[in-house]
Amino acid sequence: MLSYFVVILLSIALVGTVSFYISYKTMADRAESAGLQLVRQIENNMDNDFHSKRNLLLAPYNDQAYIDGINRYADMSDQEKFLFRQRIGDLYLKSFNVTPIRDFLRFQIYYGDGELLSSSDARKPWTPSQVRNSEWFRSTVAKDGEAFFSGFIPQEANEPSEVAAYASSIMIRDFSNPDRFIVVRTEYRSSLFRSIGQNDDLSLNSRIVILDEDNRLVYESGNESKSIAESELLERAVGREGKFWINVGGEEMLASFTSSGYSNWKAVLVTPRVEIFGALDKIKTTVIFTAIIAFVFTFMISVLFGQRITRPILNLYKTVNRIKRGDFSLRVKIDRNDEIGRIGMNFNAMQDELQTLIETKYLNQIKLQEVELAMLYSQINPHFLYNTLDSIRAMSDYYKVEEISVMAQSLADMFRYNTKNKDEIVTLQEELDQIDSYIKIQSIRFEGKIECGIQIDEALYGTPLLKMTLQPLVENAVFHGIERKRGKGMITISASKERSRIRLSIKDDGVGISEKRLAEIRDKLKPPAQQLIEPSAEREIGIGIVNVYSRYAIRFGDRFDFTIDSKKGSGTEITLVFPPFETESDAKSESST
């Protein structure tokens, strides 16, 4: 009972811990992934808006007269300058009023020396020196025609910067006259960022933070900008995109950010941890209470039903011990109909069957010996078989039936080769003689459809081989390659010496093997220790091929190579590459050494 109690306790604790960890990890990964997706969407929306605003700033490029006016402005008379300033101011007023921009605040147009050419409101102008030395003006000129976006930076201490959230500016010039240009600057409220936050399905307490390319705070949703500005967020939001956990005002938050490739600004989404894992914390509390209740309930069950389960098992154990001592007279008493009662019934039945088997064992042994003796008497004497085949050949010669004579003689030669030659190692010549007899029989069977060619140097005829190497492979070529082919077929047996190894090849021009089937055959040709060939598999790939492969693999191991190459409709080639067999003299010299 104590062990059962401890196992249940550990199981509940382990399952609860693992479940909580997996849930925590899954929710954290999903929250981080969702955060990155949201900030990417925010960045995309912001880039689209910035791009459209940048297009508005390029209005002078639509009319060459404005570009010409920029080139000639320094040389114009006062009246001409007045008219040019009025015309270019009207151009931008039309641009920003034809399609109203919700967060547009004002624009100013400055000449390259800092002179104010036009403004959309009556705001006190900066001096040319202030303009030229301002950070935004220098950065805009450095962009060389690209739009520059920045958080609003006031030029004077008493300037009402709170009404503007950010500004964009661009340099307009004739590329053929780069020294004369104007800079157009527009200021915007924070309406864009507020609308982004409202349209992107953020959680209740999540906050959007916008940073410029120098990681300065431009905008933050909510009313806690000071805490964000003083946190480590501004220092850690470095790189193209990322995510990390920060502490803001004593609260842990997940920060996900991505950097815009267009404006180099960063969009940051800050989500409180409680909003991510709040549901998980509730689940954890519920699981703990459920585990305590389950633990108490399990303990009560173990106390109430423990003895009821263990008592009949103990009685069964005592009966097993009596059987172990050889007493088969006692049976288990059955007084219940549950699982333990059925175990007792099956045990009694097993005991009866075991007793019957013991009593009939010797009778079965005697019957088995009688069957084996009868099988021994029924075996055919090989000499009787040879004499019968010789008689068939003599009769065919007498009646002049050459095909019967050839088949009988070839079959007799094959039987003599298999039964009389007890050596495991034979010569290549002996194997070729066996193949010659086999091909004669098959050629008669298939009416000359099968031909066999030999491409072997005479010096290799004495090469040692394992007995029955060629016949299974040639038989496989006949039945799986040539027999299924229309027309005649050729089987080519070749042998050559490659360095210190012998290369033996059996090739046919039969129907070939499909790529899928070839892969299955190669997969089944494993080292003998790993082979588990089912009868159906033997019929499919031929037990002879497996036998040849296994015998050579056992003898030579890694020094033996066995390959099957085939293509549907182009025949099959089986190649064996193995080292020479050791002769008796080699073995004796090696042992003496």
What CATH superfamily is the domain 422-591?
A: Histidine kinase-like ATPase, C-terminal domain (3.30.565.10)
Distance CA 240, CA 254 (A): 17
Q: Which residues of 136-161 are buried (b: 16+ CB within 10 A; e: fewer)?
A: bbeebbeeeeebbbbbbeeeeeeeee
Distance CA 520, CA 500 (A): 31
Asked if residues 71 and 80 have their Cβ atoms less than 8 Å apart, the reply is no
Distance CA 21, CA 15 (A): 10
Q: Which bin fits 281, alpha (ψ -120 to 50), beta or left (φ > 0)?
A: alpha
Distance CA 10, CA 8 (A): 6
Asked if residues 216 and 153 have their Cβ atoms less than 8 Å apart, the reply is no
Asked if residues 531 and 537 have their Cβ atoms less than 8 Å apart, the reply is no
Phi, psi at 353, each rounded to 5°: -65, -40
The total number of residues shown for the chain amounts to 593
Closest CA to 276 of 206, 341, 325, 223: 206
User: What pLDDT is attached to residue 158?
Assistant: 46
Q: What are the structural domain ranges in the chain? A: 331-372, 380-420, 422-591
User: What pLDDT is attached to residue 502?
Assistant: 94
Task: Give the count of alpha carbons within 13 A of 351, CB side only.
Answer: 20
Kindly list the strands in the beta sheet with 104-111, ordered across the sheet, starting from the edge strand earlier in the chain: 116-119, 104-111, 177-188, 166-174, 148-151
Closest CA to 258 of 33, 53, 42: 42
pLDDT means per 10 residues, the chain with 593 residues, are 73 78 78 81 84 85 87 89 90 81 85 89 81 89 88 54 76 86 88 70 76 82 61 78 81 84 85 76 76 77 73 78 73 75 81 72 52 42 56 70 74 72 80 89 83 92 90 88 88 92 94 88 69 47 74 85 91 94 54 45
DSSP-derived secondary structure for 355-378: HHHHHHHHHHHHHHHHHHHHHHHT
Q: What angle do CA 252, 255, 256 make, to 5 degrees?
A: 155
Phi, psi at 8, each rounded to 5°: -65, -45
User: What pLDDT is attached to residue 390?
Assistant: 66
Q: Which residues of 410-441 are buried (b: 16+ CB within 10 A; e: fewer)?
A: bbbbbebbeeeeeeeebebebbbebbebbbbb
Burial of 217 (0-12, 13-18, 19+ CB in 10 A): middle
Pairing status of strand 572-578 against strand 450-456 = unpaired
Q: Which residues of 69-88 are buried (b: 16+ CB within 10 A; e: fewer)?
A: bbbebeeeeeeebeebbeeb
Q: How far is CA 336 from the centre of its chain?
A: 54
